[in-house]
Structures are given as C-alpha cells and as structure tokens.
C-alpha cells in the first residue's frame, strides 16, 4: 500500500512551521525543501514545499497562499504515555497558540492538535459504564487533560 503523507497548507510559514515541529518531536528532521521557479505563482526562490518527518511520520508543508486556512475539521492526535508527555506537548505546541477544550489546542500556525493520554482511551472504554461516564464528564470540563484527575473522577463513588 502506498504511504499516506499529510500535506499541510500554509500561506508563507511552511518552512518555519516544519522547523518548529521538528524541534518539538524526537527523531524528526527536514528531508527536502523545494522552491518556486520562474513559472510562479510566487516569487522565484521562495519556499514552495518542505518535506519533513515527525518521529517516523512523513509530512509535507506547502506555501500555497492565504486562500485556505486550518480549522478543527482536521487535527493531529498525539497519544501520550503519561502526564509528563501531555504536559510537554501541551506546553511546546501551545506556545503562542490557543487552548481548546478536551485536550485540543491550536498551535501558533493554526493547526489543531489533540494531546491525549493513553489512559483516557482506557477509561472511556472501561467495562464499568458508570466509571467510563464519570471519566467522560471530567474530560469535558478540562482544557489540558489531567490523568490523575481523570482517574479520580472515574473512581469517585456515586
């Protein structure tokens, strides 16, 4: 099967964004940068695309112009092992961005991320439906997800 490479559309910040993302994620690198030529539509020599890898996942950033912007219809999910990872990615990706509900945030480029501890999935699929519902209710009241608070809510006696 061919690899699927998410292509992220930016106005002019594709290289800056790729460099930022590569600095946040381990085992990441810029692979290739291409430039507009004389045929345009932008000035020759300006960045067209940036191919980069974030911890094994390939992406392409394209400087396509201001016609399209990011919205919450697409987001990138980070499955975090623990609270330490949640805190790290929340701080790094949220810098200059905007916090949202339920573990969502927009980074300074407008791209939406879901920063989710693996524990949340375990809690929401718990065999005890009441426990799962208490975890869900707690999550709905949070911005950055708090693993200890999710467990405390799930384990709270009714």
Question: pLDDT, tens digit, for every residue of 77-86?
Answer: 999 999 999 9
Over residues 60-109, the pLDDT tens digits come to 999 999 999 999 999 999 999 999 999 999 999 999 999 999 999 999 99
Domain end, chosen from 68, 92, 111, is at 68
**How far from 143 is each of 14, 61, 110, CA to CA, in Å?**
27, 28, 17
User: Cα–chain-centroid distance for residue 66?
Assistant: 21
State the CATH number of the domain containing residue 79: 3.10.180.10
Same domain, 86 and 153: yes
Give the domain range for residue 4.
1-68
Same domain, 11 and 53: yes
Same domain, 108 and 123: yes
Residues 6+ apart with CB under 8 A from 91: none
Domain end, chosen from 35, 51, 68, is at 68
Same domain, 17 and 49: yes
Confidence at 158, pLDDT banded by 50, 70, 90: low
What integer pLDDT is reported at residue 38 of this predicted model? 95
What integer pLDDT is reported at residue 2 of this predicted model? 86
Confidence at 40, pLDDT banded by 50, 70, 90: confident
Q: How many domains does the chain have?
A: 2
Same domain, 86 and 106: yes
What integer pLDDT is reported at residue 1 of this predicted model? 82
Domain end, chosen from 25, 40, 68, is at 68
């Amino acid at each position: 099967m061919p690899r699927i490479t998410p292509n992220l559309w930016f106005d002019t910040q594709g290289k800056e964004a790729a460099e930022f993302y590569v600095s946040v994620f381990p085992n990441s690198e810029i692979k290739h940068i291409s430039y507009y030529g004389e045929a345009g539509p932008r000035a020759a020599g300006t960045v067209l695309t940036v191919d980069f890898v974030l911890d094994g996942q390939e992406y392409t950033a394209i400087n396509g112009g201001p016609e399209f912007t990011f919205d919450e219809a697409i987001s990138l999910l980070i499955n975090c092992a623990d609270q330490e990872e949640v805190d790290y990615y929340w701080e790094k990706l949220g810098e200059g961005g905007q916090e949202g509900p339920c573990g969502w945030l927009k980074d300074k480029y407008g791209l939406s991320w879901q920063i989710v501890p693996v524990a949340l999935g375990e809690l929401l699929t718990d065999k005890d439906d009441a426990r799962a519902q208490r975890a869900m209710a707690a999550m709905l009241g949070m911005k950055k997800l708090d693993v200890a608070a999710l467990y405390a809510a799930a384990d709270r006696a009714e």
